[in-house]
Amino acid sequence: MTGLRWGILATGGIAHAFARDLRTAGLDLRAVGSRRLEGARAFAEEFDVARVHGSYEALAADDDIDIVYIATPHPMHAENALLLLEHGKHVLIEKPFTLNADQAIAVRDLARAKGLLAMEAMWTRYLPHMIRIHDIIEAGTLGEIRAVFADHTQRISDDPAHRLNALELGGGALLDLGIYPVSFAWDMLGAPTSIAATARLGGTGADTEVATIFTHASGAVSTTLSSSRAAGPNTAHVVGTEGRIDIDRVWYTPTSFRVTAPDGTVLEEFVSDIEGRGMQFQALAAEEIIADGATDSERLPIDETVAIMETLDAVRRQIGLRYPEEH
């Protein structure tokens, strides 16, 4: 352990999940900040957090903190990250990294200027089964990869006031759910060279379903589907000339997968056996990066995070989705 002192900014559901996994990993969760002091106090009591702040500015100014996990809604990520970076804090920013690529570039550039880590909390990238999948692909077991398929589909509230349906909060299936399969396609095949997208918009104007087809530099294709109104299989597949990987439900969480040859022979089975939800692995990776004196993640470099935001921007242009602050 490097001994980094963690803070958490905001106290919603994802902050609770992250705090539980920090405790599971034995990391030093030392402070919490909220716009409501009573909310910060309740969170601190639940997770035995010593330092409590009733504003984000107070957390940023806390000299007893090295790194902060940002758990606010999407439109606040850039503002929060810039505040923390200006105060010399490393940041782990809940995905999507920002609302759009311009904001992502601003965060990246300030982090570089300050010599600090700004890392997207795409926790799936750091899970043990994903690390093993990379090993299999790099060993050539699948041959030439021809296609990648993934969905992230859930039945979530259709209440117009729900965060996922509120455009002013960056609501919609793409940024909340679609970021997972889009990032996975990038991870497996690299940047798309062509992008085609279609969507269904709900009553508030937020996207409820989004489907994409990407072509990649190798000629491989990827397809993704995200939905906030219907629960699908939530599986992912990597298909090569010499074999395929089938990742079971729920593919972006700790789960199992199989490697299968074209004749149906199962070459490998992998079953995740970890404690907690698995969000601790990204935190451990951040600690290791900083301990090594680095300021970027090899698993998800910040330039790739920015480029993925550019891909999401391109998808949104095709489906006609803009957020209020972008008008």
Per-position pLDDT tens, the chain of length 327: 358 999 999 999 999 999 999 999 999 999 999 999 999 999 999 999 999 999 999 999 999 999 999 999 999 999 999 999 999 999 999 999 999 999 999 999 999 999 999 999 999 999 999 999 999 999 999 999 999 999 999 999 999 999 999 999 999 999 999 999 999 999 999 999 999 999 999 999 999 999 999 999 999 999 999 999 999 999 999 999 999 999 999 999 999 999 999 999 999 999 999 988 999 999 999 999 999 999 999 999 999 999 999 999 999 999 999 999 886
Give the separation between CA 297 and CA 53, rounded to whole angstroms. Answer: 29
Strand ranges across the sheet with 5-9: 51-53, 28-33, 5-9, 67-70, 90-94, 118-121
What is the bridge-based pairing of β-strands 5-9 and 67-70? parallel
Measured in whole angstroms, how far is the alpha carbon of residue 322 from the centre of its chain? 21
| Tokens found for residue 70 | 């940002």
Give dist(CA 161, CA 138) in Å, integer: 45
pLDDT digits (tens, 9 = 90+) for 263-292: 999 999 999 999 889 999 999 999 999 999
Answer whether 205's CB lies under 8 Å from 321's CB. Answer: yes
CA geometry: angle 171, 174, 178, nearest 5 deg: 135
Cβ-based neighbours of 22, under 8 Å, separated by 6 or more: 6, 29, 279, 280, 283
Topology of domain 128-271+308-326, CATH: Dihydrodipicolinate Reductase; domain 2 (3.30.360)
Cα 247 to chain centroid distance, Å, stands at 18
Q: Tell me the per-residue pLDDT of 147-176, one tens digit each, with 9 for 90 and over.
A: 999 999 999 999 999 999 999 999 999 999
166 to 107, 171, 176, 320: CA distances (angstroms): 24, 5, 12, 16
Prior bond of 96 cis (ω within 30°): yes
Contacts of 149 (CB under 8 A, 6+ apart): 222, 223, 224, 236, 237, 239
Query: Where in the chain is CATH 3.30.360.10?
Result: 128-271+308-326
CA 145/CA 242 separation, integer angstroms:
9
Q: How far is CA 254 from the centre of its chain?
A: 14
Q: How far apart are CA 109 and CA 101, in angstroms?
A: 12
* Whether the Cβ atoms of residue 130 and residue 165 lie closer than 8 Å to each other: no
pTM, full prediction = 0.96
- What is the Cα–Cα distance from 222 to 216, expressed in whole angstroms? 8
- Euclidean distance between CA atoms 253 and 266, whole angstroms: 22
CATH class of 5-123+279-289: alpha beta
Start-end ranges of CATH 3.40.50.720 in the chain? 5-123+279-289
User: Strands 192-201 and 67-70, how do they pair?
Assistant: unpaired
